[in-house]
Structure 1
Amino acid sequence: MNKRTMASVMLAALLAAGGCAGNSGTTGTGTGTGVEAPAKKDATAALTAAAAELQKDTFKTTVNLGDQGTMTGVADPASKNAEFVMESTSAGAEGTTTLRVVGGVTYIKIKLKESSGLPGFDGKKWRKLENSGAMGTVGNFDATEMTKSLNSAAEVEWVDDDTVKGTIDLAKSAKQLGMGTEVLGKLSSTKLPFQADIADGRLVAYKFTMPAVGNQAAYEFDMRYSDFGTPVDIKAPPAKDVMKS
């Protein structure tokens, strides 16, 4: 074998051992396979699809409201039935508030640690909220509806493989977030930054900070969704347990 032939054989062997080095600069994957890695799904499209997927099954949710307290519960997006329990401390008054939504009607039960036996605050009776859907009221809370505010998401980009960030427009999403127009008018900006986590194509976390308004300090709103498909069997409280207006 002459020198030229030997050099050709050695070059071929080196290329084979290196995984065809002539192609390594085109993969952009570092795998050496010569195959282009699939393009990552557009962040806005992924978020939109994940939020829509959340609407398809029942779930458990935990909502951290910072200094305002913590809320846990279950919801059925199809029937709109849900129940949430909020543990909070307001002006030094510790208490538990239970919200139950059945057939579009919201019932509320409040138990204060120091109720002094005051009817309606001892956790024994429910109240039917006549203005359940009024914006800015406690009866307006809807863990499923709030995710629809992501329909106004802009500047969406990936933070890592399963987390996106962006902004939502409160001028378009105030209703979903339970914010009244009076509050909206007091904001210096309607652009609200958010962050969301996606797992298996479904929204599993949604976090933003409610801006300060007047004497109301800013607070973080952190919602977590889990246990998809969990049974949700919620009925209206018996009439005897509901206080008369």
Structure 2
Amino acid sequence: MGSRRAVLIGFAVCAVLTTAACAKPKTPVAQPAGAPTAATATTAAPPPADARTELLAATAKTAGTTSAYTAETTSVSASLDNKVTGKIDAARNASTAAMDGFEMVRIGTDLYLKSATPIAGLAAGTWIHVDGAKSGPLTKLGINGDDPANLSALTAGLVSAEKTGPGNFKGVLDMTKTDAGRATMQQLGDAAKQIAFQATVGDGYLVTLLITVPQAIQSPAYDTTLRFTDFGKPVTITAPPGAQPAPPALLEALK
């Protein structure tokens, strides 16, 4: 996860024990025919969902609808600090991202980029169209076409999960199973398989995900926090007008 990409990126069990009173037996009272007994009148409550199952279900619910998101990274040295905001339209496989001096629109395999500084010889502020059919996988830019918020960090990399309170979870991720922050994770070696996280769930949606990454060879320790809002609200994502085709050199670099 670099300064130019969006990263991405147990149950409290309550047992109630009851004790019958030690009292002199009373004369039984006759019950009307068909009256429910104590055993038949009480229906056992279904067991609570497993923490892992609940968290993955919430992640899938968030990934399967429209939403707005914020991805904020803070590092010990502040060298990786950045904040990305955007919107996701899962049904259209489309998303947006914006941060200081940089904007991105993705619709299917088509990617549109605009930077406050020149890119590949094009003037600053020019929208560039990268045709996914002509370039390599967008994952080289930290972009997963099927997973714009990099929620695969949870769905593919979840090692363990524990519910610490209503809607609150913590656990461990194996980040080698995702594309998020690939360069840093390679530097971490086996430590990348034990990345701590915290998450919150509300109304069945994954609302926040905090990933804590330790120091690597060429990267300081950092935290990345994903926040999701506006679930199910209408989202309009369209191709920017006047976008210029990506120069061949840029397309070649993505292969």
- When the two structures are superposed, what TM-score results if normalisation uses the length of structure 2? 0.66
Whether 1:125 and 2:127 are equivalent positions in the alignment is: yes
1:46 matched to 2:58: no
Distance 1:133 1:59, change over 3 A: same
Q: Which residue of 1 aligns with 2:159?
A: 154
* Unpaired segments ≥5 residues, structure 2: 1-15, 20-41, 248-255
Q: Is the 8 A contact 2:115 2:125 kept in 1?
A: yes
Change (3 A) 1:142 1:217: farther
Counterpart amino acid of 2:53?
A
Partner of 1:111: 116
The structural deviation recorded for 1:218 is: 2.2
* 8 Å Cα contact 1:44/1:156 also seen in 2: yes
Calculate the aligned-residue CA RMSD, in Å. 3.1
* d(CA) in 1 for partners of 2:123, 2:96: 18
Q: Structure 1: where are the runs of 5+ without partners?
A: 1-23, 28-33, 88-95
What is the Cα deviation at residue 138 of structure 1? 4.2
Secondary structure in 2 aligned to 1:53?
A: helix
Closer/same/farther in 2, CA of residues 38 and 140 from structure 1, 3 Å limit: closer
One of 57, 66, 71 as aligned partner of 1:58: 66
Deviation at 1:140, TM superposition (A): 4.5
8 Å CA contact 2:63, 2:151 repeated in 1: no
The structure in which a higher percent of residues are helix is: 1
Q: Tell me the residue number matched to 2:202.
A: 199
Percent of aligned positions with the same letter in both sequences?
25
Equivalent in the alignment of 1:74: 87
Q: Secondary structure at the match of 1:134?
A: helix
Shift in Å at residue 48 of structure 1?
1.4
Deviation at 1:78, TM superposition (A): 2.2
Structure 1 residues 162-183: Cα deviation after superposition (integer angstroms, max 9, x where no partner): 1101111123x223x2525x95
Task: Tell me if structure 1 keeps the 8 A contact 2:152–2:178.
Answer: no
Q: 1:243–1:42: structure 2 CA closer, same or farther, 3 Å change rule? A: same
Task: State the structure with more CA Rg.
Answer: 1
Deviations along 1:127-152, whole A, 9 cap, x unmatched? Answer: 527345234x2445876552222133
Deviation at 1:73, TM superposition (A): 0.7
Q: Which has the higher contact order (CA 8 A, sep 6+)?
A: 2
The count of residues paired between Structure 1 and Structure 2 equals: 199
Secondary structure of the 1:149 match is helix
